[in-house]
């Protein structure tokens, strides 16, 4: 087993980032939709409130209906508070999410590149060390090793 076999496959961390980004986006879509539902519900409740008959307060049914009408008023207040508290937080989350850094687009080519690297590693592992040594001996006399040594020095410097 070589050192290459012990390494984590490239893209593992990026796939995690992409998953978290997707989770955040789906959450934001869900909460935005919930706020829209709350706003529709609030408008419906306010519409119903406008239809209330002012004479109900002087009628004999008032003791029966007043608790329910109070419940409707409280529901209107609760939904208004919910929208007022949730909307700014969601807007802040949406503003902090940078669409130009969407990981879905950035790392699409990572898996094919990793597969190419693995194929190259398999090819290198199949090479016979003796034939590489013979090639090196033959090239030492032609001056090509100076280029190889220069390349090694550059690679080490990087």
pLDDT in tens, 34-89: 999 999 999 999 999 999 999 999 999 999 999 999 999 999 999 999 999 999 99
Residue 33 has pLDDT above 90, yes or no: yes
Q: Which two tokens stand for residue 116?
A: 């190419």
Q: Which two tokens stand for residue 86?
A: 């949730």
Burial 43-53 (b: 16+ CB within 10 A, else e): eeeeeeeeeee
> Using CA atoms, how far apart are residues 30 and 9, in angstroms rounded to an integer?
33
* Phi-psi domain of 143 (left: phi exceeds 0; alpha: psi -120 through 50; beta: other): left
> Using CA atoms, how far apart are residues 84 and 91, in angstroms rounded to an integer?
11
pLDDT above 70 covers a percentage of the chain that reads 68
- Cβ count near 97 (within 10 Å): 13
Kindly report the pTM of this predicted structure.
0.56
């Amino acid at each position: 087993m070589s050192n290459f076999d012990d390494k984590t496959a490239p893209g593992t961390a990026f796939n995690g980032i992409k998953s978290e980004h997707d989770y955040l986006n789906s959450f934001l879509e869900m909460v935005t939709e919930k706020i829209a539902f709350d706003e529709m519900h609030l408008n419906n409740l306010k519409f119903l409130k406008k239809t209330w008959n002012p004479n109900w307060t002087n009628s004999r049914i008032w003791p029966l209906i007043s608790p329910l009408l109070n419940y409707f008023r409280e529901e209107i207040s609760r939904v208004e508070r919910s929208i007022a508290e949730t909307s700014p937080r969601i807007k802040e989350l949406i503003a902090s999410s940078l669409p130009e850094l969407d990981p879905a687009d950035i790392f699409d080519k990572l898996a094919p590149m990793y597969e190419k690297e693995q194929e190259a590693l398999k090819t290198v592992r199949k090479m016979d060390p003796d034939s590489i040594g013979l090639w090196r001996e033959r090239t030492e006399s032609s001056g090509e090793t100076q280029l190889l040594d220069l390349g090694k020095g550059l690679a080490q410097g990087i």
